[in-house]
């Protein structure tokens, strides 16, 4: 709800910040007042990796009003634009992490009940968490901050841009759709089973989920009936009592939320697909999905994506059949695949993780890049806004020292909405907008 | 790669011929000779050889050099590795391989005996599980050797072994048992940090005092045995000089009893080779203060040591260099502290290398040991020269663990642990095509490749 009502805050930063930063290397510039127009930027001579239409060597990208305004070899900009020479460097879209729990100050799981769809992660959002900076320095510009997997039905996610040093509201991704976290498998049964509570088995897991959805159906019917009466002019109609929990689930049934399911095993993915069909909601993505390669056809048919690890395995029983070819095998069957971090550590080097898909299964360079940009954007539901270097998209861009899909790629500069948020060449933390102790 | 049974035209320089013949005893000559021909050789010890040949025989490297200089026997099996990169098997300087299968399933883990802090008589070789599914997964990425260490939750959790990741049994794979003794001092080894059960030691003072007492006890134990040996020798001597008086009917019954030995104490006995400086202590600390305290302790007892981790000791790197000991560094993926720059830990290997410190990398993991080379590669993006990064996962590690006569480089006489890959060993994009361990072609399969193949067939 917060997300829908937020105005675009990206205007709070301007390229004046960039200029003063370059001049006063290290000292934090004063924030420009909201509403100040962005400066223009021309990133020149980069090897541009667009993620949608191949690589363009020695190309320029012109950024205006926080958006990508032009891309190509002959693109120029007015003399007023700030020129950033990226000769010998690579330019990619900002990296998007479609599964993160950073900046929540350990409030990841409301593990007091297996059904908590009314938890709003934004209420725990710790915008000063240094993990946002560490991700930024690794080229991450957007993250989906999810509830944990203790509950079969967890809370609602918040989508952030890694504008470390900005105020809280400026970090929220304006207009991002709402996502809700579901879980399955070992975590819920361990958390509640360990307390002799329901669920302690996979039967229990799905029973809890089904029961909650049935209640939500009833709740939705009551409200539909009430609204029908109001529509018919019944002035005596009394509204049912509002219940935040069921209201959130009713929104799932109404298709207003993107359903993101923590799920490792193939059989559970199939059960979740069947249950979604039974109750008439749509699944956006399976997260972790380490056995997706076993049921890739079914996932493709259901139109559900996956947000997976590149090669993490063996940390628990349900990760025992994980194989590093999972991402590419699923992709070849038509599944939309993202590589995500689920970790403060991996978030800092998702580019390497994506690079591994070229080796395990032979993803092409652009396919690998899309797994941490455009496909991740699709999972979050912001693919029309970010995730590629295309005209009209947010100017979330990373200039890399070294080939990004390798062990050697390191962000040199990171722009979000056209503003410079990270610059490796600066002393101190390398952040023009950040001042210690703010 | 194509396998052909032909051989390289002989354009051998006499000195190479001589070297070659010296190494080929008649017995060895009967073994099949395998030659990897045409690849780019990263020898680690003597630079890069483009278009080179490595010859293996009887598990050892018998020749290394340029294609036009190395003689390959007529009946040798020649494997064409043109376009490939050939390098020595990688060495992971700390893993839990063979001690764990599924992290979250306790019955599959033998990582640490956590009942007490001082457990030097725990030997990882007693738990090392040679059939672990993790081992083929790891070696498929070119890691051929590793240190297996107990988890670091205690100050003295047990002794490490140095293993080879192929062999018919644990017996074959455990190359050096009890190769080193980890001593962990990072504050994390405290018991009962919240003081709930009041269990000692709950502070760094407690940890240090306990360690000091342990080493003193071990010294005392050693002394008791020395004294005993002396008394025993005296007794034997007296006895051997006595026969002349053997008939003396007044022979003192009470005086001539043989001395009785001290009671055996496995725990203290395990420490003796370390107190004698015969074996290596792996001293782990994170922060500068812990590092200096721990180094002080080793000095008190003249322990021979290498450093481990030191991920947050950036402020004392000159001091670290002055110790003139190698450092197992990282993992460099450890989070920086809130007041540190994002790359404070990433750049540590480069900073140490710049100061002349010999470094080695470790995964400190089991399932992810296969990613060891990428850590070394990543460190180069923060200033570590590529050549040094490769050394830090090969020759440096071999030197630190005392196996450089056998491992760590492509040199004649060394064990034929060799990796053939389609590019830079330290890059995530590179695919390892073939691994040789002791000259044997390792099947490039694991539980994971079998699952891949099974579900690709559908």
CA distance B35 to B28: 15
Q: What is the pLDDT of residue B15?
A: 40
Q: What is the pLDDT of residue A3?
A: 33
Nearest-Cα residue of chain A relative to residue B458: A294
Decide: residue B197, CB within 10 A, 0-12 exposed, 13-18 middle, 19+ buried: exposed
CA angle A121, A180, A103 (to 5 degrees): 25
If we measure between CA atoms, which residue out of A361, A263, A251 comes closest to residue A310? A361
CA distance B328 to B331: 9
Decide: residue B258, CB within 10 A, 0-12 exposed, 13-18 middle, 19+ buried: exposed
Confidence of residue B180 (pLDDT cuts 50, 70, 90): very high
H or E element at residue A421: strand A419-423
**Highest mean predicted confidence (pLDDT) among A4-18, B185-199, B289-303:** B289-303
Q: What is the pLDDT of residue A436?
A: 72
Q: What is the pLDDT of residue B172?
A: 97
CA distance B340 to B320: 19
pLDDT exceeds 70 at position B27: no
Give chain B's contact residues with A (Cβ, < 8 Å).
101-105, 134, 333, 335-336, 338-339, 341-343, 366-368, 370-371, 373-374, 377-378, 380-382, 426-431, 448-449, 451-452, 455-456
Structure tokens at A258: 């993107």
Quickly count: other Cβ atoms within 10 Å of residue A333's Cβ.
18
CB-based contact A346:B333 (threshold 8 Å): no
Q: What is the pLDDT of residue A39?
A: 74
Nearest-Cα residue of chain B relative to residue A352: B428
Q: To the nearest whole number, what is the mean pLDDT of chain A?
A: 92
Domain range list for chain B: 1-88+408-458, 91-206+268-406
- Closest CB to B426: pick one of A186, A319, A407: A407
Report the pLDDT averaged over residues A186-194. 97
If we measure between CA atoms, which residue out of A329, A376, A61 comes closest to residue B454? A329
CA distance B348 to B358: 12
Q: What's the sign of the alpha-carbon dihedral B350, B352, B358, B364?
A: negative
Report the pLDDT averaged over residues A50-66. 97
Q: What is the pLDDT of residue B247?
A: 55
Q: Could you tell me how many residues make up chain A?
A: 438
If we measure between CA atoms, which residue out of B409, B281, B397, B405 comes closest to residue B330? B397
Nearest-Cα residue of chain B relative to residue A435: B339
If we measure between CA atoms, which residue out of B1, B30, B7 comes closest to residue B78? B7
Chains A–B, number of C-beta pairs less than 8 Å apart:
105
Are B452 and A320 within 8 A, CB to CB? no
H or E element at residue B445: none
Structure tokens at B313: 């000791």
pLDDT exceeds 60 at position B21: no
- Interface contact A134, partner B, CB < 8 A: yes
Residue B340 Rama label (left phi>0; alpha psi -120 to 50; beta): beta
pLDDT exceeds 60 at position B186: yes
Q: What is the pLDDT of residue B330?
A: 86
Are B336 and A134 within 8 A, CB to CB? yes
CA distance A378 to A284: 9
Q: Do domains B1-88+408-458 and B91-206+268-406 have the same CATH topology?
A: no
CATH number of the domain located at residue range(s) B91-206+268-406 in this protein: 3.20.20.140
Q: What is the pLDDT of residue B191?
A: 76
φ, ψ for residue B319, nearest 5 deg: -60, -45
- Interface contact A126, partner B, CB < 8 A: no
SS3 state of residue A81: coil
CB-based contact A143:A97 (threshold 8 Å): yes
Structure tokens at A324: 């590093």
Q: What is the pLDDT of residue A155?
A: 98
Structure tokens at A57: 């060597």
CB-based contact B154:B116 (threshold 8 Å): yes
Mutate which: B85, B104, B428, B444, vs A, most A CBs within 10 A: B428
Residues 6+ apart with CB under 8 A from A401: A89, A409, A410, A411, A412, A424, B381
**In chain B, which residues have their Cβ closer than 8 Å to the Cβ of A293?**
451-452, 455
CB-based contact A75:A59 (threshold 8 Å): yes
Quickly count: other Cβ atoms within 10 Å of residue A242's Cβ.
9
Q: Dihedral (C-alpha) A15, A17, A21, A24: value to the nearest 10 degrees? A: 130
Nearest-Cα residue of chain A relative to residue B383: A408
Confidence of residue A286 (pLDDT cuts 50, 70, 90): very high
φ, ψ for residue B3, nearest 5 deg: -105, 125
Q: Between β-strands A140-145 and A158-161, what pairing exists: parallel, antiparallel or unpaired?
A: antiparallel
pLDDT exceeds 50 at position B296: yes
Are A352 and B378 within 8 A, CB to CB? yes
Longest Cα–Cα distance of chain A, Å, equals: 72
Question: What are the tens digits of pLDDT across the range A102-156?
Answer: 999 999 999 999 999 999 999 999 999 999 999 999 999 999 999 999 999 999 9
Render B370-398 in DSSP notation, one character per residue.
GGHHHHHHHHHTTT--HHHHHHTTTHHHH
- Closest CB to A428: pick one of B102, B335, B341: B341
Decide: residue B315, CB within 10 A, 0-12 exposed, 13-18 middle, 19+ buried: exposed
Mutate which: A361, A406, A413, vs B, most B CBs within 10 A: A406
- Closest CB to A323: pick one of B134, B367, B452: B452
Structure tokens at B42: 């990263």
What are B20-26's contacts with CB under 8 Å, separation 24+? Answer: B20/B62, B20/B63, B20/B71, B23/B62, B23/B412, B23/B413, B24/B57, B24/B62
Report the pLDDT averaged over residues A268-293. 98
CA distance B453 to A116: 40
Which residue(s) pair with B86 in the sheet? B41, B420
Measured CA to CA in angstroms, residue A282 lies from A81, A144, A211, B25, B58 at distances of 45, 19, 18, 72, 61
Q: What is the ipTM of this complex?
A: 0.91
CATH topology assigned to domain B1-88+408-458: Urease, subunit C; domain 1 (2.30.40)
Structure tokens at B63: 């020749």
Confidence of residue B326 (pLDDT cuts 50, 70, 90): very high
Residues 6+ apart with CB under 8 A from B144: B89, B90, B91, B164, B165, B166, B417, B419, B435, B437
CA distance B457 to A119: 43
Are B342 and A134 within 8 A, CB to CB? yes
pLDDT exceeds 90 at position A319: yes
Q: What's the sign of the alpha-carbon dihedral A399, A402, A403, A407?
A: negative
Report the pLDDT averaged over residues A68-92. 97
* B204-241 and B288-300 helices, crossing angle to 10°: 10
Q: What is the pLDDT of residue A124?
A: 98
Report the pLDDT averaged over residues A255-275. 98
Q: What is the pLDDT of residue B3?
A: 43
CB-based contact A433:A19 (threshold 8 Å): no
Are B382 and A410 within 8 A, CB to CB? yes
Report the pLDDT averaged over residues B281-287. 97
Residues 6+ apart with CB under 8 A from B345: B311, B312, B330, B332, B333, B334, B335, B336
Q: Rg (Cα) of chain A, in Å, rounded?
A: 22
CB-based contact A334:A290 (threshold 8 Å): no
Q: 3-state DSSP helix/strand/coil percent for chain A, to nearest 5?
A: 30, 20, 45
Decide: residue A425, CB within 10 A, 0-12 exposed, 13-18 middle, 19+ buried: exposed
pLDDT exceeds 70 at position A162: yes
Structure tokens at B252: 């003192």
- Interface contact A316, partner B, CB < 8 A: yes
pLDDT exceeds 80 at position A5: no
Mutate which: B133, B378, B429, vs A, most A CBs within 10 A: B429
- Closest CB to A294: pick one of B101, B378, B455: B455
pLDDT exceeds 60 at position A16: no
Least confident of A343-352, A371-380, B252-261, B380-389: B252-261
pLDDT exceeds 80 at position B35: yes
Quickly count: other Cβ atoms within 10 Å of residue A203's Cβ.
11
**In chain B, which residues have their Cβ closer than 8 Å to the Cβ of A353?**
428
Name the one residue in this structure whose structure tokens are 């690849």: B39
Mutate which: A165, A407, A413, A437, vs B, most B CBs within 10 A: A407
Report the pLDDT averaged over residues B123-138. 98
Measured CA to CA in angstroms, residue A334 lies from A217, A300, A303, A304, A375 at distances of 32, 5, 9, 10, 12
A37 Cα to chain B: minimum distance (Å): 30
Report the pLDDT averaged over residues B117-140. 98
A25 or B327: which leads in pLDDT = B327
Q: What is the pLDDT of residue A282?
A: 97
A162 Cα to chain B: minimum distance (Å): 14
Structure tokens at B376: 């070394």
Name the one residue in this structure whose structure tokens are 């003139």: B324
**In chain B, which residues have their Cβ closer than 8 Å to the Cβ of A421?**
none
CA angle A202, A206, A210 (to 5 degrees): 170
Name the one residue in this structure whose structure tokens are 């954007």: A377
Name the one residue in this structure whose structure tokens are 């630079």: B47
SS3 state of residue A368: helix
Nearest-Cα residue of chain A relative to residue B106: A316
Q: Between β-strands A90-93 and A397-401, what pairing exists: parallel, antiparallel or unpaired?
A: antiparallel
Q: What is the pLDDT of residue A34?
A: 43
Q: What is the pLDDT of residue B254?
A: 53
Report the pLDDT averaged over residues B152-175. 97
Are A429 and B429 within 8 A, CB to CB? no
A15 Cα to chain B: minimum distance (Å): 24
Are B335 and A402 within 8 A, CB to CB? no
**In chain A, which residues have their Cβ closer than 8 Å to the Cβ of B368?**
311-312
Structure tokens at A9: 């805050």
Q: Could you tell me how many residues make up chain B?
A: 458
pLDDT exceeds 80 at position B248: no
Q: What percent of chain B has pLDDT over 90?
A: 84
Q: To the nearest whole number, what is the mean pLDDT of chain B?
A: 91
Q: What's the sign of the alpha-carbon dihedral A288, A306, B430, A46?
A: negative
CA distance B227 to B215: 18
Which residue(s) pair with A172 in the sheet? A160
């Amino acid at each position: 709800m917060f997300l829908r009502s937020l105005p675009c805050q990206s205007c709070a930063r301007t390229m004046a910040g960039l200029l003063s930063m370059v001049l006063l290397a290290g000292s934090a510039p004063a924030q420009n007042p909201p509403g100040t127009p962005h400066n223009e930027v021309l990133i020149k001579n980069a090897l541009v990796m667009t993620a949608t239409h191949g690589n363009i060597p020695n190309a320029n990208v012109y950024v205006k009003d926080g958006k990508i305004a032009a891309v190509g070899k002959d693109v120029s900009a007015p003399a007023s634009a700030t020129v950033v020479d990226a000769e010998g460097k690579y330019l990619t879209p900002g990296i998007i992490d479609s599964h993160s729990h950073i900046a929540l100050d350990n409030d990841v799981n409301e593990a007091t009940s297996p059904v908590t769809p009314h938890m709003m992660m934004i209420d725990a959002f710790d915008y000063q968490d240094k993990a946002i900076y560490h991700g930024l320095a690794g080229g991450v510009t957007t993250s989906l901050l999810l509830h944990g997997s203790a509950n079969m039905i967890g809370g609602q996610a918040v989508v952030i841009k890694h504008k470390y040093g900005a105020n809280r509201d400026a970090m929220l991704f304006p207009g991002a759709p709402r996502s809700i976290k579901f879980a399955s498998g070992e975590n819920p049964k361990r958390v509640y089973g360990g307390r002799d509570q329901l669920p302690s088995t996979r039967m229990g897991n799905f029973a809890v989920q089904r029961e909650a959805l049935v209640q939500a159906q009833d709740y939705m019917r009551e409200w539909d009936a009430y609204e029908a009466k109001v529509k018919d002019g019944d002035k005596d109609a009394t509204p049912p009592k509002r219940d935040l929990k069921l209201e959130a689930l009713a929104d799932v049934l109404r298709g207003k939320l993107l359903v993101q399911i923590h799920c490792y095993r193939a059989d559970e993915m199939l059960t979740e697909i069947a249950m979604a069909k039974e109750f008439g909601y749509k699944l956006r993505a399976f997260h972790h999905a380490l056995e997706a390669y076993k049921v890739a056809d079914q996932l493709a048919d259901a139109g559900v994506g996956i947000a997976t690890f590149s090669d993490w395995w063996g940390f628990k029983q349900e990760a025992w059949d994980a194989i590093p070819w999972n991402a590419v095998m699923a992709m070849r069957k038509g599944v939309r695949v993202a590589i995500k971090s689920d970790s403060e550590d991996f978030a800092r080097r998702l580019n390497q993780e994506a690079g591994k898909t070229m080796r395990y299964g032979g993803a092409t360079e652009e396919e690998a890049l899309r797994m941490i940009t455009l496909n991740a954007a699709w999972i979050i539901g912001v693919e029309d806004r970010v995730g590629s270097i295309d005209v009209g998209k947010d100017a979330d861009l990373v200039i890399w020292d070294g080939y990004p899909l390798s062990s050697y790629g390191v962000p040199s500069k990171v722009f979000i909405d056209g503003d410079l948020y990270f610059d490796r060449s600066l002393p101190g933390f390398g952040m023009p907008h950040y001042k210690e102790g703010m | 790669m194509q396998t052909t049974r032909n051989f390289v035209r002989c354009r051998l320089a006499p000195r190479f011929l001589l070297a070659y013949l010296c190494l080929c005893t008649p017995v060895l000559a009967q073994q099949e000779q395998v030659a990897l021909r045409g690849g780019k050789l990263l020898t680690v010890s003597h630079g890069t050889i483009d278009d080179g040949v490595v010859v293996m025989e009887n598990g050892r490297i018998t020749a290394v050099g340029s294609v036009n200089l190395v003689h390959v026997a007529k009946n040798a099996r020649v494997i064409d590795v043109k376009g490939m990169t050939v390098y020595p098997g990688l060495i992971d300087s700390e893993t839990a391989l063979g001690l764990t299968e599924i992290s979250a399933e306790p019955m599959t883990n033998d990582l640490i005996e956590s009942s007490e802090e001082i457990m030097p008589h725990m030997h990882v070789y007693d738990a090392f599980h040679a059939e672990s599914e993790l081992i083929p997964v790891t070696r498929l990425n070119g890691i051929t050797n590793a240190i297996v260490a107990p988890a670091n939750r205690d100050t003295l959790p047990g002794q490490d072994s140095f293993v080879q990741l192929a062999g018919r049994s644990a017996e074959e794979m455990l190359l050096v048992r009890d190769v080193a003794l980890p001593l962990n001092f990072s504050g994390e080894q405290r018991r009962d940090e919240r003081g709930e059960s009041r269990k000692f030691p709950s502070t760094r003072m407690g940890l240090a005092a306990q360690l000091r007492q342990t080493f003193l006890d071990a010294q005392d134990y050693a002394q008791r045995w020395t004294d005993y040996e002396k008394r025993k020798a005296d007794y034997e001597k007296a006895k051997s000089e006595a026969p002349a008086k053997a008939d003396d009917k007044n022979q003192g019954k009470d005086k001539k009893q043989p001395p009785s030995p001290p009671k055996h104490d496995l725990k203290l006995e395990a420490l003796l080779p370390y107190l004698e400086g015969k074996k290596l202590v792996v001293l782990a600390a994170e922060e500068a203060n812990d590092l200096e305290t721990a180094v002080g302790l080793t000095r008190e007892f003249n322990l021979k040591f290498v450093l481990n981790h030191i991920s947050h000791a950036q402020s004392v790197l000159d001091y670290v260099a002055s110790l003139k000991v190698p450092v197992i560094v990282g993992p460099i993926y450890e989070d920086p502290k809130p007041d540190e720059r994002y790359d404070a830990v990433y750049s540590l290997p480069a900073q140490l290398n710049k100061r002349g410190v010999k470094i080695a990398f470790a995964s400190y993991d089991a399932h992810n040991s296969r990613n060891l080379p990428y850590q070394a590669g990543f460190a180069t993006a923060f200033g570590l020269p590529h050549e040094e990064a490769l050394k830090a996962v090969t020759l440096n590690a071999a030197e630190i663990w005392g196996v450089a006569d056998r491992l760590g480089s492509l040199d004649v006489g060394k064990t034929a642990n060799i990796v053939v890959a389609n590019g830079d060993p330290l890059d995530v994009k590179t695919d390892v095509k073939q691994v040789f361990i002791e000259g044997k072609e390792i099947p490039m399969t694991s539980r994971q490749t079998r699952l891949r193949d099974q579900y690709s067939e559908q």
